[in-house]
Amino acid sequence: MNKIVTGIDVGTNQVRVVIAEHMSDPRQLPRVLGTGYAESRGVKNGYVVSVEEASRSIAVAVAQASKAANVKVKKAYLGVGGIGVDEAFARGETVVERGDSVVSDRDIPRAIAASEKALPPAATQNRKIIHTVPLRYTVDGVRVMGKNPVGMKGARVAVETFFITCLERHITDLASAVEEAGIEVEDVVAAPVAASFVALSKMQKRVGCVLADIGAESLSIILFEDTLPISIKTFPLGAADIAHDIALNLRIPPEDAEQLMRGAVLGTTYPKKKIDDSITRRLTEFFKLIDQHLKKIGKNDLLPSGIILSGGGAAIGAAADIAKTVLRLPSRVATIGDGTTKSHITDNAWAVAYGLTVWGATAGGDIEHHDSDQLHDVAAQVWRWFKKFLP
């Protein structure tokens, strides 16, 4: 029996829900059974400012998707985004446990746990680790080539770990809003990670790329290299800022500015050059912020697959062309699915909600209940994480 999974993406403008059926062929994306959306109330910059209002919006979107799919939703996977998402890195080391100095699968989670303990207090204060990604291993100071050093000989094994964190209050409030709508949260996933499952190809992740999601009030990026995420960042800017600029420059209501930004033709003629200038100026600012981050981590000009744009703001103006000019990288708007609208979603504004169903279909239950003391659980979590990115 195929597994049915629900993904909930609570954005600043809209709540999007996707119900999908996981196909028996792992190479296929889940088949979409139903979608639902609602105006997002009680949310600002990705933060829940009113649990009650957010819950009502979620309930409306879920009901719509449930009716379309003819499926009653009891559990769902929840995407968390907004400026509360951040990154942290740490190195952990442990002594090889076996007497014959052979690294075993028991040593790996102990090294990962040591890296978490090495995190500075500022990286974890009021924050929750939602994803733990081992990036590089060393045995007695020598870099390990491959996914892990199990089977090698040495006295000490060390790991450099990438942590994706989020404000704990943000996760708690989002989960509460979903649960008040009568739905159990099966797992929490960083929104950029979820989107990457349907917006990026294995090849792009392997050679190196950055996925940029232009939301209403936030701009999030996630970098991939050797199939693994290596950096994540969110900026407090979004498509709403572009509409705001147009409204100020043309002295028109925000509602009209929003439509002009999307390319709508209104009854009154407005100067196209002013509209284009407002869009170009703000998008250039967006991509300069991304360029600064890439330079900071030493990845500017080093991403062969370039930048892939997703989110509701990805198609605004000449976003892909501007990104190419500013970043000096290949640039394009993300495409999702194979174009068969009966079974897949093609609008990349749905990338997070759809990606959550991919995550859920391959998760095998809750996979990231983070507890460093339960070493065998950590080992299982890490392996399930890796399997999601393997070809």
Residue 233 sits in a domain whose CATH number is 3.30.420.40
Same domain? 239 vs 311: yes
Same domain? 298 vs 344: no
Same domain? 75 vs 194: yes
Same domain? 249 vs 320: yes
Task: Output the 3-class SS for the chain.
Answer: CCCEEEEEEECCCEEEEEEEECCCCCCCCCEEEEEEEEECCCEECCEECCHHHHHHHHHHHHHHHHHHHCCCCCEEEEEECCCCEEEEEEEEEEECCCCCCECCCCHHHHHHHHHHHCCCHHHHCCEEEEEEEEEEEEECCEECCCCCCCCCECCEEEEEEEEEEEEHHHHHHHHHHHHHCCCEEEEEEEHHHHHHHHHCCHHHHHHCEEEEEECCCCEEEEEEECCEEEEEEEECCCHHHHHHHHHHHHCCCHHHHHHHHCCCCCCCCCCHHHHHHHHHHHHHHHHHHHHHHHHHCCCCCCCCCCEEEECCCCCCCCHHHHHHHHHCCCEEECCCCCCCCCCCCCCHHHHHHHHHHHHHHHHCCCCCCCCCCCHHHHHHHHHHHHHHHCC
Q: Is residue 390 part of a domain?
A: no
Confirm if 112 and 378 have CB atoms less than 8 A apart.
yes
Domain that holds residue 239: 209-333
pLDDT, position 371:
35
Q: Is residue 62 part of a domain?
A: yes
Q: Is residue 105 part of a domain?
A: yes
Same domain? 327 vs 255: yes
Same domain? 54 vs 181: yes
> What are the tens digits of pLDDT across the range 198-243?
999 999 999 999 999 999 899 999 999 999 999 999 999 999 999 9
Query: Is a pLDDT exceeding 70 seen at residue 294?
Result: yes
Same domain? 90 vs 75: no
> What are the tens digits of pLDDT across the range 44-53?
877 889 999 9
Confirm if 138 and 158 have CB atoms less than 8 A apart.
yes
Q: Is residue 102 part of a domain?
A: yes
The span from the CA of 230 to the CA of 329, in Å, is 18
Same domain? 34 vs 115: no
Residue 365 banded pLDDT, cuts 50, 70, 90: very low
pTM of the predicted model as reported, rounded to 2 decimal places: 0.89
Same domain? 226 vs 287: yes
> What are the tens digits of pLDDT across the range 245-277?
999 999 999 889 998 998 887 767 888 899 999
Same domain? 140 vs 258: no
Q: Is residue 386 part of a domain?
A: no
For the chain, what is the domain count? 3
Same domain? 64 vs 122: no
Query: Is a pLDDT exceeding 90 seen at residue 146?
Result: no
Residue 156 banded pLDDT, cuts 50, 70, 90: very high
Residue 161 sits in a domain whose CATH number is 3.30.1490
Residue 94 banded pLDDT, cuts 50, 70, 90: very high
Same domain? 220 vs 322: yes
Q: Is residue 176 part of a domain?
A: yes
